[in-house]
Amino acid sequence: MKSIKNLIKENKFENVLFIPVDDLRPELGCYGNKQIITPNIDKLAERGMVFQRAYCQQAVCGPSRASLLSGCRPDSVGNYDFNVRMRDHLPDVVSLPQHFKRNGYETVSVGKVYHHLDDDPQGWSKTPYRAHGDWKGRGYVTDEAIEKVKQFNEKNIKRKGLGPATEAADVPDNAYQDGKNLESMLEELRRLRDKKFFLAAGFTRPHLPFNAPKKYWDLYKREEINLANNPFVPEGVTKYSLHNFGELRGYFGIPDEGDISEEKARELIHGYYACVSYIDSLIGKLLNELERLNLQDKTVIVMWGDHGWKLGEHACWCKHTNFEIDTRAPLIVSVPGMKNNNCQTYALTEFVDIYPTLCELSGLEIPEHTAGKSFVSVLENPEREWKKAAFSQYPRGEVMGYSVRTGNYRYTEWQDFASGEVMARELYDHQIDPEENINVVKKDKYDEEIKKCSQYLILYKQDSTGLSE
């Protein structure tokens, strides 16, 4: 078995299949969840490497994707809100698809890749396609749901298209947006089979609303679905740490304030699981077509979720925090011929590392602007500890929370935007509290760890490449 470095020298990797999945937390069989049904993603993991500690740079769709696809961290992108487009702030940066396009690849975007369909037009060889248009295509198909959308819209002028938080229509896969997108993905694979390509195949579910064909709901018994282990606010949490999960509250039938009932929580988790199994089935069809076209042995595959998602943890839902549950997301990388397939790594990894990694695997020069580092060395040796920390951030009004994840701790400073003054701190000890239920920042025995992590943040802000070797 040859090393990846030697395979790169021999130009073995002609193509890239790039698979973003929206709001996908590491809730997959290959990540140890025995309840969820994801046989196709698990099969991909068997011929690749599962990154157990991969972190997005900001736990919300637009900024996370803009950071990864530009190779820049959120402060460089200047994009902290899902409505802001990357090109509004970085008009001249060479994006990941644009770099491949400049190097002779045909670059194609189908489905949800950037948050907004029209972001980064210079990155693609043809106009990006997404069924139902931009991200506001919620995709209800039943008369009941559509009627509720109409009722909601009459009272909520600013939030069009929202209805129930779940839908389980007895329809084929292509009745919903992701199934329609899959048809276009398969067409593109067939068209590109004799070309060198970078195909971005993005899936919208399990983003709200949790709409999936009934057959995927039927895979689960609602009464057997586990609720969150920690449905309570962490001890010692700061006023900046959590939120009122307005994203979910905007849907029909969700209360404006207060807790979600156990019955509704089970329905929502059921819907989330159904959507994950739906996407798993679509990804399986995509990978089967790649194999049928004899492209598997020359295509690097990267599947990732743009951030995590809370299903009742910390008495909260959705993303939008610096907690582990939101910043940690799945990352699976499959490289043809790699000796370390069907394995996992606990090496700290950041999503800004994906851009330079794909460049190295494809034999392309890594642009100087990229903030991350290639993790090809981790693909060669999954035991390698190549980073001291991974960084994420999230804004709260005039305050930015900067979070650093080390091997055993998560430390967050909430800093005033204008002055840099630290308004609040958090420290979670993963050795005894992996769910981050107790903020131990005021305990004296952690003083040295706090000093070290605080220094990491200073170094990080001085040099956005982080603390890799």
What pLDDT digit, counting tens, does each position of 278-331 carry? Answer: 999 999 999 999 999 999 999 999 999 999 999 999 999 999 999 999 999 999
Domain-located, residue 447: no
pLDDT band at 268 (very low <50, low <70, confident <90, very high): very high
Domain-located, residue 413: no
Asked whether the predicted pLDDT for residue 187 surpasses 90, the reply is: yes
Asked whether the predicted pLDDT for residue 334 surpasses 90, the reply is: yes
pLDDT band at 466 (very low <50, low <70, confident <90, very high): low
- Span 108-112, average pLDDT: 97
Residues linked to residue 345 through DSSP beta bridges, in sequence order? 51
Lowest mean pLDDT: which of 99-103, 107-111, 459-463? 459-463
pLDDT band at 340 (very low <50, low <70, confident <90, very high): confident
Which two tokens mark 11?
């130009």
Where residue 324 sits, what CATH number does that domain have? 3.40.720.10
pLDDT band at 377 (very low <50, low <70, confident <90, very high): very high
Domain count across the chain: 1
pLDDT band at 209 (very low <50, low <70, confident <90, very high): very high
Which two tokens mark 375?
């993790």
Domain-located, residue 81: yes
Lowest mean pLDDT: which of 6-20, 189-203, 207-221, 393-407? 6-20
If we measure between CA atoms, which residue out of 425, 432, 462 comes closest to residue 447? 425
- Span 109-126, average pLDDT: 96
pLDDT band at 2 (very low <50, low <70, confident <90, very high): confident
Domain-located, residue 451: no
- Return the pLDDT at 153: 75
Catalytic residues: 61, 115
The span from the CA of 346 to the CA of 356, in Å, is: 19
Asked whether the predicted pLDDT for residue 468 surpasses 70, the reply is: no
Mean of pLDDT over the chain: 94
CB neighbours of residue 36 within 10 Å: 20
Lowest mean pLDDT: which of 248-257, 258-267, 308-317? 248-257
Containing domain of residue 109, as a range? Answer: 4-139+171-387
Pairing of strands 343-345, 49-51: parallel
- Return the pLDDT at 157: 67
Asked whether the predicted pLDDT for residue 145 surpasses 70, the reply is: yes
Asked whether the predicted pLDDT for residue 159 surpasses 80, the reply is: no
- Span 233-253, average pLDDT: 95
The span from the CA of 183 to the CA of 282, in Å, is: 10
Radius of gyration of the chain (CA): 21
Domain-located, residue 163: no
Question: In the chain, pLDDT over 90 holds for what percent of residues?
Answer: 84
Reduced DSSP (H G I as helix, E B as strand, rest coil) percent helix, strand, coil of the chain, to 5:
35, 20, 45
Report DSSP letters for 297-328, one per residue.
GGEEEEEEESS--EESGGG-EES-SSSHHHHB
Render the burial of 403-428: b for 16+ CB within 10 Å, e for the rest: bbbbeebbbbbbbeeeeeeebbbbbb
Lowest mean pLDDT: which of 265-269, 337-341, 444-448? 337-341
- Span 212-240, average pLDDT: 97
How far, in whole angstroms, is CA 58 from its chain's centroid?
10
Domain-located, residue 229: yes
Residues linked to residue 299 through DSSP beta bridges, in sequence order? 15
- Span 246-256, average pLDDT: 91
Residues 6+ apart with CB under 8 A from 127: 121
pLDDT band at 165 (very low <50, low <70, confident <90, very high): very high
- Return the pLDDT at 135: 46
CB-based contact 192:106 (threshold 8 Å): yes
Domain-located, residue 46: yes
- Span 268-276, average pLDDT: 98
pLDDT band at 85 (very low <50, low <70, confident <90, very high): confident
What pLDDT digit, counting tens, does each position of 96-105 carry? Answer: 999 999 999 9
Domain-located, residue 159: no
